[in-house]
Amino acid sequence: MHHAPILRTLLALGLLAAIAGASGCTDEDASPIPTRVTTPTATATAQATATAVPAATATPAAPEATPSPDATSTPTTATSDTAATPRPTEAPFTVRFEEVFEGREFDRPVELGVYPVGPAGSGPGLFVAEQEGRVLVLHPDRDDAVELLDIRDQVSRAGNEEGLLSVALDPQFDETGSLWVYYSVRGTPRMTRLSRFTVDLADPLRVEPGSELVVLEVEQPYSNHNGGAIRFGPDGMLYLGYGDGGSGGDPRGHGQNLAALLGSIIRIDVREASPAAPYAIPADNPFIGVAGARPEIWAYGLRNPWRMDFDPETGALWAADVGQQEVEEIDRIERGGNYGWNILEGTRCFQPSSGCDPTGTVLPVAEYGHNLGCSVTGGVVYRGEAIPALVGHYLFADYCSGRLWALPVDGGAILELDRLPGEVASFGTDADGEVYVLTFGGAVLRIVP
């Protein structure tokens, strides 16, 4: 998630004002617009060489699944760190933020999504997941809430970035009742867990007792950089983003290590998940048959992907990768792509600090420096109807400064929409594609015209 040691480093460098609660960053000489990166046209196959560091452990995979016909793209790779900086551009329209569930404060909300029914049969409703380990079901027009899931006794909150980090409904939820969760596990060794719970379809506000199926566990060497967004793609596969395992600077070398799941986005088939075969490897995953590589990996070279989402119209996967000391980045995730960490931080050399070789890496779509914030929070591509001017824009924000930006997915100037109150933790959408913002100040906000 968001790295407290980074903030201490930035304070020492004088790049941030004192941060307390929702206070933000200094604005001296700051253009309020992130950099859109110009991607070179040269292409190459992502390097598949794994460094000799210990691999993270995981539940063994089941036999291969049927390939997806849509996952055929190859990555565009970086050959330089040239970036085009657009002029500061304010949005030619205005938006405002409307508090939903007014009067209700959530305990560090990290996920919001559509739920088929709301309290007392109203619906469709929304679910909100809290980092402490609860999932609540609510309706925007009602005051009550139903506690769908409470796993606080299983969830570790020993570290600021540990907890219940993501929740997703199965694409066939109406038939399967499958509720997928990703969380930090209480106890030792330190690990994160992907699990499936089963909802009683006759009473969809009730999770079946004892229904948890542990699908995948990965040991975490540190308490930070757990990533964790669960997303189902248009191909029906489950995608999960892992951070590099934590500390700072990727000391275990996970980012460029294809033998480890940490520092990657994985893609697995959970349609037939069972205790004997918790998941299968899609036959068109890019690193099947590569010596030493984990076949679950879809893309790698990531530091801490904090929120990712599929564009509901194009199927493109967008992710925000939290930076180390200087750069926050937005990536469009491609099959087999190497996103550079820890050779690169954004488009800049990280290790070594100069003269690095970015060959075989994919440049971010956009990036911004720590004069504008401290930690990127990824969002969603807007495909709603309430704000026509926002259609086709990827919305993202900064956790510290609260700046909210809109990046046109087809090119064009990046717009600054406004500043959000509180620490911006996550985004979500409702059944109509309208966008909600979750803040650690406790409020859930809806973006409206």
Report pLDDT for 39: 56
Rounded mean pLDDT, 88-108: 86
Look at residue 1 in the predicted model and tell me its pLDDT.
59
Give the whole-number percent of the chain exceeding pLDDT 70: 81
Q: What tokens does 38 get?
A: 């110009």
Q: What is the pLDDT of residues 394-421, one digit of tens each?
A: 999 999 999 999 999 999 999 999 999 8
Average pLDDT over residues 320-326: 96
Residue 157 banded pLDDT, cuts 50, 70, 90: very high
In this structure, what are the phi and psi dihedrals at residue 389, rounded to the nearest 5 degrees?
Answer: -65, -20
Q: What angle do CA 181, 183, 186 make, to 5 degrees?
A: 135
What's the pTM value of the predicted model, to 2 decimals?
A: 0.85
Quote the mean pLDDT of the chain. 85
Does residue 8 register a pLDDT over 70?
A: no
For 5-16, what is the mean pLDDT? 33
Residue 345 reports pLDDT greater than 90: yes
For 37-78, how does the pLDDT look when each residue is reduced to its tens digit (9 = 90+)? 875 433 333 333 333 333 333 433 333 333 333 333 344 444
Residue 328 is predicted with a pLDDT of: 97
Confidence at residue 35, expressed as pLDDT on a 0 to 100 scale = 85
